[in-house]
Chain A
Amino acid sequence: MIGSETPSETVEPSATTAPGPVVEPETGWTASVRRRVEKTLPITELLPTKQPAYIGSWVYVFGVVTIAALFWVVLSGVVLAFFGSAWWHVSSVGHFFNSIHFWSVQMFFIFMVLHLWGQFWGAGWRDGRAKTWMVGVVIFAISVGTAFTGYVIQQNFDSQWIAINAKDAINSTGFGGLFNALNFGQMYGLHVMLFPIGVTLLVVLHIIQVRAKGVVRPIDDPMPVTP
């Protein structure tokens, strides 16, 4: 076993004179990552019970409702994927789940764009939060790609027409052979697997960034100078 010859904890044989376990400094990758996580995002920051009073603005609602909409997008998508790509065309229950998926996506984009504009006009990238903004922009871009692949795998007229039209733009960039909108199998795999995983992981990262750094202070409300 790796590290078995250097135990991190030992117990003195005499219970009457022993001061307790002697703990040696923990080393190794695991300990290093744990220390980093504990420092960056302690549980009190991950699940906070206090926030700055200035978050009492409607702008801060858009972030959480975007995540809520994403949750229902993924859940309804899982149901649609489970029953197969043709199910919703022949089942009224399936069509209802497709409608839930459809409107969840619409809500997701509306809220995400409002969140983006809210953060833009509040300059949410200030005070060391540039990476948070950048991850958000990447989420938006991948979401557009995810929605596109969703549209072309619907197996209806919209799918055909959107794929036919979009192919010219994709082909013009030289990526038409790599990303073929007319190839249902490729688009289906990307839509139900790679793109949603990418969006979800980046959203988790985005939330961690927000929780770790905290909510940026209002513009022209400078941090008190620390001596």
Chain B
Amino acid sequence: MKASKVDKQTYYRGVRMIPYDLLKEVTIAMLGVLGVVLILSAVLSSPDVPSVTLQSWSKADPVDFLTTATGELGGSTLVATYGPPYNSGSAAAQSWGPLAPQQWAGVHVPVNAPNDFVLEPLTQATAGDVDLASALSTYQAASGDQQQKWLANYTTGLSTATVAADGTVNVPSGDYGPVSVLMDRMLTLARSGGLDALLLTSNHFYQTDFTRPLLFLDDGGYIANLATQQKLIGSDWGVMNETGRYPGSAWLWLYTMWYQIPPFNSPTGFLGISAANTDLAVVGVMLILTALLFLVPVIPGLRDIPRWIPIHKLIWRRHYAEIRQAAGTAKE
């Protein structure tokens, strides 16, 4: 009879049964784990590095902030050209051969970088600011080529800009059109904390969606520099790390590992897998591995590994010792 079909009495036939107190075991486990957790909590605490705001960014690194804002206005940042689910770009759209789920899913969290990150917040801040209103009108009335020319000039100017003691950014003179006024107000708005609120604005009183401010932060270099200092970037196994000397998501070690090795981190790649589509490839590999783990009991070979590598001799060493002892006694 198959062991899987018999009742427990039959299954345990011939097995030595011992007294067992389930509730006592659970209680001891509860108290033991609580004790360890309390000690770790009291001694090591937990990480809580304050979040970055657009305000703190614009104060700490105003040139980076302005460079990013200029890029958003010109539509040249990563988010501006990202692709689904934010827009119809393709800069971050990944595929593997004909497999393109990101494009198939389409745009579901629409983000228009020039409008959402710059023009709309400035428009809302024009009250009483004639110069800003005029600059916005001039910019929006200009041709696309003219806008790009102003933005390119201003970006070049930013590369040699200096920051005054009061935090204002001095950009060398140039043909910036209305862009210098727009960016000056963007910086003022950000330093006041107003931009943090304006990027959250929707038609609702309550706000819980931080997609826009996080994407804006992502386009800048400031938050990435902070992450680099904390060894949190991808090439430092960043996905499984966290700030400070804490264990982080150690359970993601296998997922993170793929990002560190070819072809997943290679510019040229292999079999169509490279750094360009590394996320899709790594997620795919992990899905396959998870499916294999799930199906271990029904996959010949995989399910036999524990029999071939006899770690079970260690797990049940006392049991096997008893069997050997019993066999020895029977011979005598």
Known: A95-B45, A133-B296, A223-B3. A183 touches B209 (CB 8 A): yes
Task: Report the separation of the CA atoms of residues A106 and B247 in the bound assembly, to the nearest whole angstrom.
Answer: 8
Complex contact B319–A218 (CB within 8 A): yes
**Contact flags B186-202 to A (C-beta < 8 A → 1, else 0):** 00000000000000000
Known: A68-B30, A168-B279, A171-B102. A130 touches B50 (CB 8 A): no
Task: Report the separation of the CA atoms of residues A163 and B6 in the bound assembly, to the nearest whole angstrom.
Answer: 50
Answer yes or no: A173 CB below 8 A from chain B CBs: yes
Give the interface residue-count category, chain A. Answer: 35 or more
Q: Which of B133-169 contact A (CB under 8 A)?
A: none
Q: Which of A63-113 contact B (CB under 8 A)?
A: 64-65, 67-69, 71-72, 88-89, 95-96, 98-104, 106-107, 109, 113
Known: A49-B21, A64-B26, A65-B29. A103 touches B209 (CB 8 A): no
**In the complex, which residues of chain A have a beta carbon less than 8 angstroms from the beta carbon of B283?**
169, 172-173
Complex contact A51–B3 (CB within 8 A): no
Complex contact A127–B4 (CB within 8 A): yes
Complex contact B298–A177 (CB within 8 A): no
Complex contact A176–B105 (CB within 8 A): yes
Give the interface residue-count category, chain B. Answer: 35 or more
**In the complex, which residues of chain A have a beta carbon less than 8 angstroms from the beta carbon of B243?**
156-158
Majority secondary structure of chain A interface residues (helix, strand, loop or mixed):
helix
A-B contact count (CB 8 A): 289
* Extra pairs beyond A68-B34, A161-B223 (16, CB < 8 Å): A54-B319, A65-B32, A107-B36, A121-B306, A123-B307, A127-B11, A151-B242, A151-B249, A155-B51, A157-B52, A172-B280, A174-B105, A176-B105, A177-B108, A182-B210, A186-B208
* A residues with CB within 8 A of B: 45, 47-57, 59, 61, 64-65, 67-69, 71-72, 88-89, 95-96, 98-104, 106-107, 109, 113, 118, 120-123, 125-130, 133-134, 137-138, 141, 144, 147-148, 151, 154-166, 168-169, 171-178, 180, 182-186, 188, 213-214, 217-226
